[in-house]
Amino acid sequence: MITEMIPLTEENIQDSMERAGEIIRAGGLVAFPTETVYGLGADGLQEKAAEKIYAAKNRPSDNPLILHIWSEAQLEEFVAEVPEMAKKLMKAYWPGPLTMVFRKNACVPYGTTGGLDTVAVRMPNHPVALALLKAANRPIAAPSANASGRPSPTKASHVLEDMDGRIDMILDGGSCGIGLESTIVDVTGEVPVLLRPGFISEQMISEVLGDIQVDKAVKEKLKEGEKPKAPGMKYRHYAPKASLTVYDGECSQVIATINELTKKAQKEQKKVVVVSTKEHKDAYVADEVLVIGALGDEAEIARNLFAVLRDCDGLEADVIYSEMFHGGQLEGAITNRLMKAAGYQIIKLDEMS
């Protein structure tokens, strides 16, 4: 299959959307930008089309997809009920980076929901995503458009890296503004449960709903046999190829520790890459230092996180060390992704000394 890459311009956007919409209706695969990350879209009501997503990504078939819609009115077609708390969250945060898990209606195939009786739904807030949904005139099932296990794509070039020859079309609408996937909240029970942190923070949800539970898989590694409520949270995720370890603590101690470990690794002929804030860039002795953003600029750090992890692969790192990033609305989401990318290797230095 030849994958067509379309850099969108004012001149070609209308025609491109019509063609992309046709591909979706015909059961094909189109990657598109959203405000969070690029999605890999297929008609969410065609089981065969949704199955193609799993094949293209090499994704385990028990990991459900998110159904994207462009208007609140569509929701009732796809879900068995819209609980009060969902209405409040929709009013506050849709369209936007918030996904909610509902009990599904019969029209949503199990191929889309990974065999579950629930369905995750989100209304994205990105002009290209919304235009594609309207042009296709279908709800679009879309996971992040990376090969399973790799960091999510925040640029069209990342999608091409993973999906060239495996999908029909990539709509290049530039870089994604947020850079981390949507927040997921399960609204099927008495109390809302946070399944995946994102731009809409735990605090922003409790501002609207009061009490909220947090699924254990959000903040810690589950034990053998324990199951996260979002099946996707159990897989090794967002991971660069080399082993990544994150050091958390006072700046000078973090820098000294990483430099010491770097020298040891270099003696063993290993290529070391360090993920650093702009301010600390020159303090490291590593072979390559990748700047993720300015200290305290969580929005910039979130936006660059997945691209930096991909760059580590491009540089053929043997070992990666990273600083930890604290503060702000995005801290929960950044920590969650970094923790998973590092396979839970986050070392707290001040606790050790």
Locate the DSSP E strands across 174-318: 183-186, 193-196, 213-214, 243-248, 272-277, 288-293
**First and final C-alpha spacing in the chain:** 56
Could you say whether residue 183 binds Mg ion (CB under 5 A)? Answer: no
Task: For Mg ion, give the closer residue by CB, 231 or 249.
Answer: 231
Provide the minimum distance between the beta carbon of 199 and ligand TXA in the complex, in angstroms, as a whole number. Answer: 9
Could you say whether residue 108 binds ligand TXA (CB under 6 A)? Answer: no
**Structural tokens at position 104:** 């599904």
Could you say whether residue 181 binds ligand TXA (CB under 6 A)? Answer: yes
Residue from 36, 112, 144, 182 touching Mg ion (CB under 5 A): that is 144
Could you say whether residue 34 binds ligand TXA (CB under 6 A)? Answer: yes
Beta strand 169-172 with 4-7: parallel, antiparallel or unpaired? parallel
Piece of 81-89, 111-119, 139-147, 250-258 that binds Mg ion (CB under 5 A): 139-147
Q: Give the closest residue to 174 by CA, choosing from 38, 280, 313.
A: 38
Which of the listed partners (ligand TXA, Mg ion, none) does 231 bind, with a CB threshold of 5 to 8 Å by partner kind?
ligand TXA
Task: Say how many C-beta atoms besides its own lie within 10 A of residue 124's C-beta.
Answer: 29
Could you say whether residue 229 binds ligand TXA (CB under 6 A)? Answer: yes
Tokens 């909240």 identify what position?
185
Rounded CA gap, 49 and 51, in Å? 5
Q: Give the closest residue to 170 by CA, choosing from 40, 58, 277, 56.
A: 40
CB 19 within 8 A of CB 25: no
Could you say whether residue 99 binds ligand TXA (CB under 6 A)? Answer: yes
Provide the minimum distance between the beta carbon of 79 and Mg ion in the complex, in angstroms, as a whole number. Answer: 22
Could you say whether residue 148 binds ligand TXA (CB under 6 A)? Answer: no
Positions touching ligand TXA (CB under 6 A) are 34, 36-37, 39, 63-66, 99, 101, 113, 116, 118-120, 122, 124, 142-144, 181-182, 184, 195-196, 229-233
Q: Which residues bind Mg ion (CB under 5 A)?
A: 144
